[in-house]
A and B are shown apart, each in its own frame.
Chain A
Amino acid sequence: MLGFILLFPLIGFLVIGILGGLFGKRLPNSVVATLGCGSILLSLVFSFYAFIQFLQDPTASRELSLTLFDWIPQLGVAISLKLDPLSQLMILVVTGVGFFIHLYSVNYMGEDPGFARYFSFLNLFTFAMLLLVLANNLLLLFIGWEGVGLCSYLLIGFWFEDNEKAQAGKKAFLVNRVGDFGFLMAMFLIFVTFGTFNIDSLKIYEIHEAQLPSLTLITLLLFIGACGKSAQIPLYVWLPDAMAGPTPVSALIHAATMVTAGVYMVARLHFWYALTPFSSSVVAIVGISTALFSASMAFFQNDIKKVLAYSTISQLGYMFLGVGIGAYTSGIFHLITHAFFKALLFLSAGSVIHALHGEQDIQKMGKLSSKLPLTHIVFLFGLLAIIGIPPFSGFFSKDEILWMAFNKHPLFWVCGWLGALMTTFYMVRVFTLTFYGPSHHHAEHPHEAPPLMALSLIVLAILSLGGGMVIGGHFLEQFLTPLFTKHLEVTLSSHTEHTLMIVMILSTLVTAILTFFIFHKKQEWAVHVRLKFLKLHTLLSHKYYVDELYQFLIISPIQKGAHFFWSIIDTLFIDGTVNNIAYLNGYFGSKLSFMQNGNLQRYAFIFILGVLAILLYLGKYV
């Protein structure tokens, strides 16, 4: 059954790819759409079936594995899959959210000439993501890991005729490769230390005291990989640019699934992170720092997708905070709810963009609430979920992470709280500027989402509303927590918990209402504040000049170095030496050639000289 879950998207990719290659534009969209969505639906059905089975099984036996064939025998690596409660939840998210995003794409990409290419890539992505999640050894996980990166590259640069978009795809791939460098090193160290890549074997491996430093290094190196894939400091720079891809791609890959792979990996290898407090602290601190840092960058972005991108980075930071402090269940919980509401936010942003014929600048929107009522409502659902208003899903998961964080150290909570208020500010700003305030757009009749898009939006809105209530609390506690051998213990009283919760909700509400009021009624206040803190505004809207810094410190030295090596070292020195040796030969040859000019008298003369020289030489000894 595990095999089937993986197989359908792979078949979907191959069939669509081959049919698209054979028939080109003559291939009807309906065939592509049926194949593309159908494969994911089948995968979803099988995943759901496995889930139902799991629920009936006793906790201890919730496990399913499948070994297909040997891959690299000398390393003991096989193509082997494993389903446990953690990967179970992940495949449900990947195929569930993935299916509705596929469905949405049928309308959204309907007029694109690359329709078949789009769906084949999206299916390939789903396959790679499922492989990543189901892999039972780290090397296989790495196939999925780089596989999703490839799909991300291809889909960011989907409209390849635009150089900027192609550039964004390349940037994403390369920044991820920097992370993967860390991942590779971690794998080498794992193999040298433990002699296996198999996750099950690694989990039961008894670690000696002496191995702990290596283990710390391994977990840190793996986290570099996670920083790349999940866009954390300092490797987050690719994700905002990745918004060049089609919006459903941003929803699926760059919000709901792929970017959470790093969080998933930390949770999957929790048995190591639990043993290495230093690495775990690094994970938590990087997570919360990223959460704050990228929230501040989202403040004054005017591209609706970019704001959502920064908010994704920020929310991923919360997830890392969760898994970093040892609250693995909470981290995964937030991963799931985030998949719901962030996919919803992206898809409703896509609906706005679709309605305005490609406009993404929120300053050119406004007053869309009456024209796009459905989009307006579902966006509001997403908004309430992300800022954490009960009973929307985000509230439960974020609250749980922050409560756990408070148990670890109150400062984590304070930072998280600050981040939550910042999130509230920029999200409400986007919402207000898009749907309220004065109208700035020129579209005559913005059209509401077509049926398949609307259906996907509604389903995701329901999940964003109810997802937290349904799976939060007892369900996850019973389903997931037994998997994590060591989990953060809650030591403080529930009285503290409730106080913190109330502080959080009230301050969020106040911020939300104030922000709404300013951007709806008193935009001049915002302008006034902006002018007063012009320098800060410039710094933030230029994203702290980090891209420029990387360009200056890393990329341009590499390029200059390359040209130096090429024109000076290689051409001048090395090849120059080689050629000069050859020319020198020729030179001496031509100088000595006077001895062999064909003139017999000169030969005789030289001959006599030679004889004389020999005689003289011999004469010395006579």
Chain B
Amino acid sequence: MTFLENHLLSILIFLPLLGSLVVFLFPKTSNVKLQMVAFGISLIEFGLSLLLLRYFNSSSHLIQLVQKVSWIPELGTSFFVGIDGISLWLVLLTTFLTPIVILSSTIERNVKSYMACLLILETAMLGTFVSFDLILFYVFWEMMLIPMYFLIGIWGGARRIYATLKFFIYTMAGGVLMLLAIIFLVYLHYDQFGVFSTSLLNMYSLQIPFETSKIFNIQSLLFLAFAVAFLIKVPMFPFHTWLPDAHVEAPTGGSVILAGVLLKMGAYGFLRFAMPLFPEALQFFMPYLIALSIIGIIYGAFLALAQTDLKKLVAYSSISHMGLIMLGLLILNTNGVSGSIFQMLCHGISTGALFLIVGIIYDRRHTREIASFGGLTKVMPYFSVAFLMVTLSSIALPSTNGFIGEFLILLGTFEKNPLWAILAASTVILGAYYMLWMFQRVMFGPVTHPENKVLSDLSLREICVMLPMIVMIFWMGIYPKPFLSRMEKSIDYLVSNYKHYDLGIYEKHQ
């Protein structure tokens, strides 16, 4: 075991934070140089994160690459990080998207702070995905709000203050509920074991009282507190209204990160905390949550149909897709959960790419109204190819990544209850409807607005931004095995043992 292997996760967490400091203290220089410095840092980060694939042992479901350092001994809190098959790819998704977002930036104002915010955000996101301590998780969870608050509030659109406040307060409200539940759990642990601990692994072994006869008992209240925090973040119907506002006002990079990674944190939290900690309550609420997921799928798709603003359309399509992801998790069988985690990656890439696409034409025309475009294929042929491919991924055409995730989730759902699958599969038709309709209105037809006749095609920088996304779309669609095989063990374990879940720490034998 090398030093790097032992400390890889903490290096990954703190490198961007350090990087943000470097960017911030960087001598006054041109915006492009600052952008390149930040890009370089995030690229090194991505390179390092690829080492995870080398060190990760996909034949074990245990937590790997663990690092545990005592932090607040009075509470039993430690800096406790590790990864398993569930979080591995989410970490890589984060480190993959960050350099792309940095490179895609066309911000001209306060570039230094913008780049610093993105890097701090990366730290927070990575920390959330790898924490195995409740307090540590909570710290990263809330830490992520701050840079995001500024990203929308400073570099956002006309109604940015409204949007960022709504985002902040809404998520915070959920977060506070979760904090209460965490405190309760810590005391419960003290009651049952006589010591304070905030380690998630210790929490898994708690006996949390549950009474079938009462809706509101200890376990179900705790479950609801966690669940609401996560469901707001996902966001699940009917907690979704902050999302379109936040997306519309956020700068392109903010939207990409928001859709690409932040929403996944809700689903991840649900999977990591809410489900295995409170299995009985989960059972109890499952039908309602599944109903909400399915409503969300159809409702989001319908709302996407009605939109006239490109970003809003993509935002509502996100709500529909996240409904599908939640459905897959709640189904709790191998196909459902693995499809769901796979779909998180796909959604991160394809919706992220969609926001980049919208950003590219917004930069040229400073409008997102669908009606002010039309016929762009003629003017921007490269752009049209990129847009088409991303659209295909979003409508889950076989051979793109979206198909694998969607198919597995729907298959898993069908195995559990065919009726749910029939309802959820309406996304196959509705998704194609709103996406192709949007594509037609933006890209096809005659060029009706004279200002669109002179739009420039993709620049080299934009090609560099889109290309990795498109490569991933087809790679994951045609050869998903490397992705699926690394999550397999963790998912199998979760699916068969979520009622008495107990994750151990993986010891590497030399």
Contact = CB atoms under 8 A, between A and B. Distances in A.
Nearest to A570: B303
B429 interface: yes
Contacts of B299: 565
Given A72-B480, A74-B338, A177-B428, A147 B411 contact: no
Interface size bracket, A side: 35 or more
A181 B436 contact: no
Contacts of A143: 398-399
B196 interface: no
Nearest to A78: B481
Contact of B303 (A180, A184, A559, A565): A565
A563 B306 contact: yes
Contact of A562 (B166, B306, B392, B479): B306
Contacts of B335: 74-75
A191 interface: yes
B377 interface: yes
A157 B377 CA distance: 12
A146 B432 CA distance: 12
A130 to B, nearest CB: 14
A187 B242 CA distance: 37
Interface in B302-352: 302-303, 305-307, 334-335, 338
A150 B445 CA distance: 19
B440 interface: yes
Nearest to A20: B381
Contacts of B272: none
Interface stretch (A161-169, A376-384, A459-467, A506-514): A161-169
Nearest to B396: A146
B348 to A, nearest CB: 20
B305 to A, nearest CB: 4
B445 A160 contact: yes
B21 interface: no
A142 B399 CA distance: 10
A188 B410 contact: yes
Interface of A: prevailing SS: helix
B488 interface: yes
Interface of B: prevailing SS: helix
A358 interface: no
Interface stretch (B199-207, B357-365, B414-422): B414-422
Nearest to B491: A74
Contacts of B411: 75, 187-188, 191
Contact of A160 (B302, B377, B392): B377
B429 A174 contact: yes
A477 interface: no
A163 B437 CA distance: 12
Nearest to A192: B415
Given A146-B398, A188-B410, A582-B169, A71 B429 contact: no
B445 A185 contact: no
B399 A188 contact: no
10 contacts: A71-B480, A146-B397, A153-B436, A160-B445, A162-B445, A170-B440, A177-B428, A185-B414, A562-B303, A575-B241
Interface of B: 166, 169-170, 238, 240-242, 299, 302-303, 305-307, 334-335, 338, 375, 377-378, 381-382, 385, 392, 397-399, 404, 407-408, 410-411, 414-415, 418, 421-422, 425-426, 428-429, 432-433, 436-437, 440, 443-446, 478-481, 484-485, 488
Given A75-B335, A150-B392, A174-B436, 15 more contacts: A21-B382, A71-B480, A72-B407, A74-B488, A160-B443, A170-B440, A173-B436, A174-B429, A185-B418, A189-B418, A561-B302, A562-B306, A566-B306, A570-B303, A578-B166
